[in-house]
Amino acid sequence: MQIGVESSRAVENKRVFVVDGDEITRAVLQFMLQDENETHEFADVAHAYDKARQWKPDAILLAMGLVEVHGIGLIEQVAARVPGVKIAVVCDSAADPAARRCLQRGAYSLLAKPLTIESVRRKADLLLGRRSALTIRVQVTRGPR
């Protein structure tokens, strides 16, 4: 099922890896992205590295939980093992000091929860270098005649 998909993006070949030890978060992100991107999900970085040798991703959504388990150096390691990839760290809060340190170590951006289709797709578009349409709301009011 495709929800609000721009047709040009549905045929574009951009690859996103979702790397998260939490099966539910991984599945949600994969579902939100699959209509506009070639999306693959992995429970750990080792499997993502294996797949990246065959199918290089354009972007990686990396769980903060994995950074906590493997250490902050994981960001630099991913960047070294998958050159040119843009990394977004999926975290509970963009204000979290540990998440902010990920930006200092090379993550391109943070994707803070709660995850919505709009926020996830917007972040993926940003990572993939897509321009999104500028939306300006205009309120029409009637003045005196």
Confidence band of 131 (pLDDT split at 50, 70, 90): confident
Q: Tell me the per-residue pLDDT of 75-104, one tens digit each, with 9 for 90 and over.
A: 999 999 999 999 999 999 999 999 999 999
What architecture is the 7-127 domain classified under in CATH?
Answer: 3-Layer(aba) Sandwich (3.40)
Burial class (CB in 10 A: 0-12, 13-18, 19+), 141: exposed
Angle between helices 117-127 and 23-33 (to 10 degrees): 70
pTM value? 0.83
Say what the pLDDT of residue 139 is.
Answer: 62
